[in-house]
Structure 1
């Protein structure tokens, strides 16, 4: 998955592939969020606060911690 570095105090980089959004945090943790659309990923990419987007939109919908 191609990861895109983002400006955020919480999120290091994000990526999208085959319906999965992947998020790497500055604290070393990384999560995959399944069942996502490319449109949702584009909204995430355009969001002024990546951390708030994760908390308000992605979190709690079957995420899988990968590290």
Structure 2
């Protein structure tokens, strides 16, 4: 299993992302709401996210609402339990 990751020190929205190439799963750790998993994500989306001038804007334009996602049940921080 190949897992790649990027950390964003300057983003107020996203702390870290990781990508599982084999499963095509993108894991995003949000600073306020915890970790979410996004499914069937092309590798290019992860690569472009890591290079984006604004990580939050890229997320809102290219990821939010475009891929199936769920909160990572292993990493609950804030928010309602569902």
- Scaled to the shorter chain, the TM-score interval is 0.7 to 0.9
Runs of 4+ in 1 over 6 A off after TM superposition: none
Q: TM-score of the superposition, structure 1-length normalised?
A: 0.84
**2:31 matches 1:29:** no
**2:67 matches 1:65:** no
Higher relative contact order (CA 8 A, sep 6+): 1
Within-5 A mapping of 1:18-57: 18-57=23-62
Question: Distance between the aligned counterparts of 1:3 and 1:45, measured in 2?
Answer: 9
Q: TM-score of the superposition, structure 2-length normalised?
A: 0.70
Alpha-carbon RMSD across the aligned residues, in angstroms, is 1.6
Unaligned stretches of 5+ residues in structure 1: none
**For each residue in 1:7-26, what CA deviation from the matched residue of structure 2 results, as whole angstroms up to 9, or x when unmatched?**
31110000100201110011
Q: Decide whether aligned partners of structure 1 residues 32 and 2 sit closer, same or farther in structure 2, where only a CA change above 3 A counts.
A: same
Number of residue pairs aligned between Structure 1 and Structure 2: 67
